[in-house]
Amino acid sequence: MLVVVTGVSGTGKTTLGMGLSQALGLPFLDADQFHPPANIEKMGRGEPLTDADRQPWLAALASKLLDIEKQGGAVLACSALKNTYRQQLQVSDQLRWIHLTGSRDLIWERMLARQNHYMKAGMLDSQLSIWEKPSSGKLIDISGTPAQVLEASLHYLTQQEMKMNMGVIGMGVMGKSLALNLAENGVSVSLYNRFVAGKEEGIAQKVLDENPEFAQTAAFEDLQAFVTSLATPRRILMMIPAGAAIDAQLDALIPLLGKDDLVIDGGNSFYLDSDRRVNRLKEVGMHFLPMGVSGGEEGARKGPSIMPGGNAEGYALVEDFLGRISAKDKDGKPCVTYVGPGGSGHFIKMVHNSIEYGEMQVLAELVHLLRFGFGCSAAQVSEIFSDWGKGELKSFLLEITADLLLFKEGGELLLDKILDQAGQKGTGAWSLTTALEYGIPYSPLAEAVNARGVSGEKAMRVAFSKTFQHEFQPVEGALETWLPKIKEAYALARIINHEVGFRLMKTVSDAKGWDLNFNEIARIWTNGCIIRSGLMERISANYADPISFFEMAGVKEQVISGRKNLAEIVGLALTKGFALPVMSAGINYLLGRITAESSASVIQAQRDYFGAHTYQRKDDSSGKFYHTQWTNS
């Protein structure tokens, strides 16, 4: 066992550490002995250490802990005031934390009584000012006697030994992948999957049997045993279907949990349901994190983009663990952030998926146009997309589309054997209804949802194609002439898709007081998630509220230069019989947004004519509403 006793100077770390050392039969280490001479001299002069001062000290301690673990363990007394320091020292999932806390007056009194110690009493306030509440381990108050503090520490260590740091419920594709990701990154994990005779038996154990390299894991089919296996405060990640299943699982879990325990919903739940569940667990003294996870099976296993909302205190309990398993951005920073309160984490995942729908549909539209309008082979389209992906248009979806256009089965293109009926799981439609609720124009991304609905009516489409004798017409002119225009049209369509999604996020954030950080949201979407791209990197670096997305650096120029090409490509495709629902809606949306004088005056006149709904006038800025008697009858 490795035990680290933390706290500001004067809390009794050395006294407790030596007591634990004797009781557990482990060697005792004092972190102060690992400070370089320069640090000791600085503290002796009453000067607080900086983070830079502490780095070599923390590195030496981490190295020592790794070495001593191989020899059976130790007890280390170390201030470790910040969670970042503690993360550097978390070299093993066998390491246990005890954090000593107490009133300033009590600690001050003890420090004044110490003799010949280089840490002066006057530095107490500087330590208290940077101390952060721990995200794991046991907080023990020092107001009791040293014997009582030792007894409480031993009780905790005895109870926590062999307890798991995280629990994962649901061993489907995503649940299993995230559980293995946690285990591979040094987090001990309990796995739970329900028992259904003849249908779901031994599912969690099968995951362990298939991955014997992860020793710090355990499998359960009994929910009570699963909960009991977890260290407190318990941290449980649910990876089960959205909807009634989430509430049913909470009904079963809550009676087994205690104050300050944490439950995470890592599925695609509707954000308003998540709002309600946050409040439900808050009422019983627990934490709930509605958490979006993007990246698919491979991302979940190797590093997804993670979007937790809910209680900030709950996020602190798993910040370290989520940072370990997430993807990393170009600067090596984890692609996870605390999004905001309530269901905001699930909300931005919903919008992420809506943008994803739009991006996928635009690529599908272009594949169809290039293959059957311009006569390109699948390999040629793949080459075009691969070439685009080498520049600013790079994206995960562009990359995989180029790949799938080359995949063959039995010597034939697999893509041509796949039934053209697109499925969906609801997040795209939720985004559309939310946009309607908040009055946000959403036509390009709405068309991505509608296109999947149209695709599902396969039998009707086949019948109508015969009834109306519909055939694609070839495009005249060389592809080389059209390709630069197609590329610019694609670039602008993507910008429009993202503008629509970010505008919805901004509107709802303002209305609900979430204060979402869109640069940070874009940053965690630069890697791990499905819509990661060069465009997302640009958004992360340049988006600044409250400017419009279209006014962002480098985007305005593309809107100006690309809109004619997008309109031309859409017009070309439509005249040749190709449906481009998202690209068509995109150019209409853009033109509507940048048109100073629109046709809406006709709508207002019509409304007033038949319903006396009134209208305002351009020549009256007072805001007055008018009604006209349009006929003499």
Q: What is the pLDDT of residues 237-271, one digit of tens each?
A: 999 999 999 999 999 999 999 999 999 999 999 99
The CA distance from 259 to 56, in Å, is 38
Q: Is 330 a catalytic residue?
A: no
| Catalytic hit among 176, 221, 319, 356 | 356
Q: Residue 119 pLDDT more than 80?
A: no
> How sure is the predictor about 479, in pLDDT bands with cuts at 50, 70 and 90?
very high
Looking at domain 361-594, does it have CATH number 3.20.20.70? no
Q: Residue 118 pLDDT more than 60?
A: no
Partners of 218 in the beta sheet?
A: 190
Give this prediction's pTM: 0.77
Looking at domain 166-342, does it have CATH number 3.40.50.10710? no
Q: Where in the chain is the domain with CATH 3.40.50.300?
A: 2-160
Digit-coded pLDDT (tens) for 306-326: 999 999 999 999 999 999 999
The CA distance from 531 to 359, in Å, is 8
Contact, 420 vs 455, CB < 8 A?
Answer: yes
Q: How many CB atoms lie within 10 A of CB 90?
A: 21
Q: How many CB atoms lie within 10 A of CB 465?
A: 11
| pLDDT score of 159 | 65
Q: Is 356 a catalytic residue?
A: yes
Digit-coded pLDDT (tens) for 556-574: 888 998 999 999 999 999 9
| Catalytic hit among 64, 138, 349, 487 | 349
Q: Where in the chain is the domain with CATH 1.20.5.320?
A: 600-633
CATH superfamily assigned to domain 2-160: P-loop containing nucleotide triphosphate hydrolases (3.40.50.300)
Contact, 54 vs 60, CB < 8 A?
Answer: no
Question: What's the whole-number mean pLDDT along residues 602-616?
Answer: 95
Find all residues with CB under 8 Å of 407, minimum gap 6, and list them.
413, 414, 415
Q: Residue 144 pLDDT more than 80?
A: yes
Q: Collapse the DSSP code of 122 into the 3-class scheme (helix H, G, I; strand E, B; otherwise coil) and give the result.
A: helix
Q: Give me the torsion for CA of 607, 611, 617, 622, rounded to 10°.
A: -130
Question: What's the whole-number mean pLDDT along residues 159-178?
Answer: 87
Digit-coded pLDDT (tens) for 492-548: 999 999 999 999 999 999 999 999 999 999 999 999 999 999 999 999 988 877 667
Q: Where in the chain is the domain with CATH 3.40.50.720?
A: 166-342
- Going by the DSSP 8-state scheme, the letter that residue 509 receives in this structure is H
Digit-coded pLDDT (tens) for 343-395: 999 999 999 999 999 999 999 999 999 999 999 999 999 999 999 999 999 99
Q: For residue 96, what is the enclosing H or E element?
A: strand 95-101
Q: Residue 156 pLDDT more than 90?
A: no
Number of alpha helices (DSSP H) and beta strands (DSSP E) in the chain:
26, 14
Digit-coded pLDDT (tens) for 15-33: 999 999 998 888 999 998 8
For 600-633, which CATH class? mainly alpha
The CA distance from 497 to 603, in Å, is 27
| pLDDT score of 162 | 62
Q: Residue 90 pLDDT more than 90?
A: no
The CA distance from 592 to 586, in Å, is 10
| % of residues, the chain, pLDDT over 90 | 71
